[in-house]
């Protein structure tokens, strides 16, 4: 997969999002959350023609860590009870190698359990669903990685300047050769050689909601926050979907 290990690992263990990403998944319901994993109920379609067949199971998910990138999905209810599904995720240069291994002796059926697993359940149901899952996860992580790379190479602007606020305001001020230089009136400038400076006259700082306990910001901080908000809007970034440790680097 053309994506880093961390992004692939997150997609593999975040099974609650699978129905959004993978059309063959009917639902994923978290029954009990445990750290990075938990007990989940899952249902998926095995595409048969002309009518798909639905399968159902409950799994115990053990999420991998960044230093040990693997996920274990242990089936504890359903026809595949006792099966371990292991996602092995390894870096391969700028890409990531992903393999899904199914470890199972078959259903506890007398005489025919192993044969049913080898001939029907494994190649028809398990392989069919797993191949669709792997292809769907690959498509999603590569899309997200490509979008992140495009955003990281772009430049966004947030402008709080004396001649104009925002990109359009700044451009208009430059085009009109506007000057914001005025006599200083906010404090006594008599101790300085210069008595003039460029001033903001149209800027209105964001005020917290009534009852907020945050201390008031100085003007420099207010300028910085306003410019940052404009830059984020210019870049069309949704911080809820970004890594806060890397988005502003």
Which CATH number among 1.10.357.10, 3.40.630.30, 3.30.530.20, 3.40.50.300 corresponds to the domain 5-152? 3.30.530.20
**How does residue 168 score in pLDDT terms, banded at 50, 70 and 90?**
confident
pLDDT, mean of residues 44-53: 78
Of residues 41 and 189, the one with the higher pLDDT is 41
Give 77-146 as a 3 state SS string.
ECCCCCCEEEEEEEEECCEEEEEEEEECCCCCCCCCHHHHHHHHHHHHHHHHHHHHHHHHHHHHHHHHHH
Residue 225 has pLDDT above 80, yes or no: yes
Residue 66 has pLDDT above 60, yes or no: no
pLDDT of residue 22: 92
Residue 248 has pLDDT above 60, yes or no: no
Strand partners, 25: 44
3-state SS class at 168: helix
**How does residue 209 score in pLDDT terms, banded at 50, 70 and 90?**
very low
Report percent pLDDT > 90 for the chain. Answer: 20
pLDDT, mean of residues 69-76: 87
Domain positions in the chain: 5-152, 160-241
pLDDT, mean of residues 20-38: 89
Show the tokens assigned to 48: 């048969």
Looking at residue 56, what DSSP letter applies? E
pTM attached to this predicted model: 0.57
């Amino acid at each position: 997969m053309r994506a880093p290990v961390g992004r692939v690992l997150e997609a593999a263990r975040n099974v609650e999002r699978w129905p959004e990403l993978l059309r063959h998944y009917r639902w994923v319901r978290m029954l009990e959350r445990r750290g990075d994993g938990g007990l989940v109920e899952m249902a998926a379609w095995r595409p048969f023609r002309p009518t798909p067949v639905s399968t159902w199971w409950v799994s115990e998910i053990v999420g991998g860590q960044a230093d040990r990138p693997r996920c274990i999905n242990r089936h504890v209810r359903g026809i595949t009870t006792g099966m371990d599904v292991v996602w092995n995720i390894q870096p391969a240069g700028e890409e990531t190698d992903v393999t899904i291994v199914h470890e199972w002796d078959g259903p506890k059926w007398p005489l025919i359990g192993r044969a049913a697993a080898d001939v029907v359940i494994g190649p028809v149901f398990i392989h069919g669903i797993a191949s669709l899952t792997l292809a769907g996860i690959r498509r999603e992580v590569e899309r997200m990685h490509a979008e992140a790379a495009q955003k990281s190479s772009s430049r966004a602007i947030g402008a709080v300047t004396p001649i104009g606020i925002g990109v359009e305001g700044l451009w208009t001020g430059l085009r009109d050769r506007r000057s914001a230089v005025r006599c200083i009136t906010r404090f006594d400038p008599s101790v300085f050689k210069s008595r003039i400076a460029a001033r903001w006259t149209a800027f209105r700082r964001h005020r917290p909601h009534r009852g907020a306990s945050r201390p008031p910001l100085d003007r420099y901080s207010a300028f910085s926050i306003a410019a940052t908000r404009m830059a984020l809007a210019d870049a069309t970034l949704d911080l809820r979907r970004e890594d806060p440790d890397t988005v502003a680097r």
